[in-house]
Amino acid sequence: MTRPAPAGSPGRSRAAGRPTPLARPQLSEEVVVYLRDLIMSGELRPGEFIRLEDVAATLGVSITPVREALLTLRGEDMVELEHRRGYRVAPLSRQDVEDIFALQAHVAGRLAGRAASQISDDELDDLRAQHEALRGVTDPADVEQREFDFHRTLNRIANARKLSWFLHTATRYTPARLYSSDQDWQTSMVTAHDELIAAFAARDGARATDVMTRHFADGAEQLKAHLDGIGFWADR
């Protein structure tokens, strides 16, 4: 999964609210990632206006990349532009979350099944090495990057460019920082990797598909539980 899955109790993931500001953001895409994370983790709520000046000050950038980022997010239906008032967060329902993860699970499951049927011994050794390097890592940024690299390698093995592109697009809606900061999720992620590698070693495509599909399904439940915990749906 390209930066997939969530935490068992993500509400405990961050001690002080909003995520740590990006160190030295250079491009509007980094602002996009930052705002997507806030929206999908429920820290920016539907109807809430986004002040360009505040985002720019937090991230240490000019207004221009923030404005460009909001244009991108508008195209993704993450924000809406209200005449003379600015950008506000678009509606996000429980069904939206379920739909997003269902799509991710379907595509990721197909990729995993395909990878299992054609993985070479050298590729399997590479995945094992990446997984073992990830085991025991606790720094959220390191966890996030290593998890991303593991699934990028897996998707390349599947040799399905268009499916991989669809998955990459769908998983943009996953608040990766929220999950990678949570110890419960880190534990479940390692377990899922163990099961995936066992399926690959057996060249069992059906099993690999099932493991990956469950991984995303669990992620949907965990994110909904987090949003429940912060009262995200209270007014809906």
Comparison of pLDDT for 138 and 212, the residue scoring more = 212
What's the CA gap between 220 and 236, in Å, rounded? Answer: 19
Q: Euclidean distance between the first and final Cα of the chain, in Å?
A: 30
Provide the domain count of the chain.
Answer: 1
**Structure confidence at residue 9 (pLDDT):** 31
Cβ atoms of 186 and 146 closer than 8 Å: no
Domain that holds residue 99: 1-236
**Structure confidence at residue 87 (pLDDT):** 96
Torsion of Cα atoms, 185 then 191 then 197 then 203, to 10°? -110
Q: Which CATH number belongs to the domain containing residue 93 in this structure? A: 1.10.10.10
- Please choose, from the candidates 106, 110, 196, 181, the residue with its C-alpha nearest in 3D space to the C-alpha of residue 150: 196
What's the CA gap between 94 and 47, in Å, rounded? Answer: 16
Cβ atoms of 42 and 230 closer than 8 Å: yes
Which element (helix H / strand E) includes 125?
Answer: helix 121-134
**Structure confidence at residue 219 (pLDDT):** 85
Does position 15 have pLDDT exceeding 50, yes or no? no
pLDDT (mean) for 163-191: 88
